Amino acid sequence: VFVMRVAFVLFLFFVVCFSTEYGVGPHNHYFERDDTSRVVDDSVYEFAEHLRGQRKTSFPDVETSHSLQFNSNGTFKIAVFTDLHYGEGENTAWGPLQDTNSSKAMRSYIQNEMPDLIVFNGDQITGNNILYNATTYWNELLQPAMEYQRHWAIIFGNHDDLSAGPGETRADLMAFDMSYELSHSQAGPTDIHGVSNYYLPIYSANDSSVPQTILYFLDSGGGQEQPSQIFPDQINWYQNTSNELRNRYNSLIPSLAFFHIPLPESMEAWNEVECRGYKNESVVCQDIDTGTFKAFVEQGDVVATVSGHNHENDYCCKYQGIDICYARHSGYGGYGPHAPWVQGTRIIELSINNDKWTMDSWVRLEDGTKLDNPPIHEPCSNGMNCQQGSCASSS
């Protein structure tokens, strides 16, 4: 026992020293800049580059299976679970109860919608409150999907990689998730920033030769491994992949993009165009706007984006031809929201009818209510909700 205690103290000492060396201690990630972006301290980028260099396992971002297909009725349904925050209070009475309630909520969503794919859209766990057992919580949060035999794919949020202990980095958690038979998650290329940069094709029910939809997943960073942003090399990867798919299939394939931390355009859209849904807090966007949305517009294939991170927002806006959507706080972990707000999931239903591709979306609440007619927000009709001129801190 004495040896174990000494080893644990030495480990904590190493963590503290390592964190100080790479500038990941509290409050030294960034300093403020004007408008919608922030300048991030160089030490954070150095730490991100160090971790990227340590990655040894590569999982190719290629179409390795045709298991995702539209149903015979021409539909494919996606449920987005975001900000579950398992493990937030593991040494408290309320922590395990909170996780139990999140599992009950997910079971309700699945029972009501029976999605073809669940997208875990980031902050599955509150890693900064977890010591050594992140995979235990990861396994727990996957149980509802496994009970109903639902396929899933994940991206990471800013809290997922903060667990204290070996084997609990983004790459480790991704490898653990990929070990499940129902998982379609991929680590993505190792020569770009982040883990969980990949795409999934969805084929028609009777033809697995040409994808009918592409789902892009992008790691928006945050946490201890990299700043909260989509890096230029990730954008280049998306653009190259989009071009390659277009050339291969000689068509522009309708695509959706999932990432945890919103882009500045989520704020701009609320200010400038008609939106549907609720904005109960300021948009908290990525540290730096690297042109991700501009790339989506220029490529012309992405028809919708989905983010989480802001637990009290669930609105969608059509902006520059793209549906910019929040999911909805799906679990009981993390801050707010409070009654009368009810936890929920954003549902996206894709349809193909007589070769016409369409998309519909709504929010399904834990109590079974379907929110398919959310309130309309006119641009800047309410001064309180229209005066945000810059994105708040996302750390």
Count CB atoms within 10 A of the CB of residue 114.
Answer: 11
pTM, entire model: 0.84
Place of tokens 């609440």: 365
Q: Considering the chain, what is the average pLDDT of its residues?
A: 84
Identify the band that residue 55 occupies on the pLDDT scale cut at 50, 70 and 90.
very low
Burial status of residue 133 (CB atoms within 10 A of its CB: 0-12, 13-18, 19 or more):
middle
User: Which distant-in-sequence residues (6+ apart) come within 8 Å of 363 by Cβ?
Assistant: 277, 314, 328, 344, 345, 346, 347, 370, 371, 372, 374
Which of left, alpha, beta for 282 (phi over 0: left; psi -120 to 50: alpha)? beta
Q: How far apart are CA 125 and CA 163, in angstroms?
A: 9
Q: What secondary structure does DSSP assign to 324-383, as a single string?
A: EEE--B-SS-SS---TT---EEEEEEEEEETTEEEEEEEEEETTS-EE-SPPEE-TTSSH
pLDDT, tens digit, for every residue of 270-301? 999 999 999 999 999 998 999 999 999 999 99
Res 253: pLDDT: 97
Ranges 25-34, 284-293, 365-374: which has the least confidence: 25-34
Res 225: pLDDT: 78
Q: Does domain 76-377 have CATH number 3.60.21.10?
A: yes
Domain residue ranges of the chain, discontinuous segments joined by +: 76-377
Q: How far apart are CA 316 and CA 359, in angstroms?
A: 13
Q: How far apart are CA 183 and CA 170, in angstroms?
A: 16
Side chain identity at residue 3, one-letter code:
V
Q: How far apart are CA 31 and CA 260, in angstroms?
A: 22
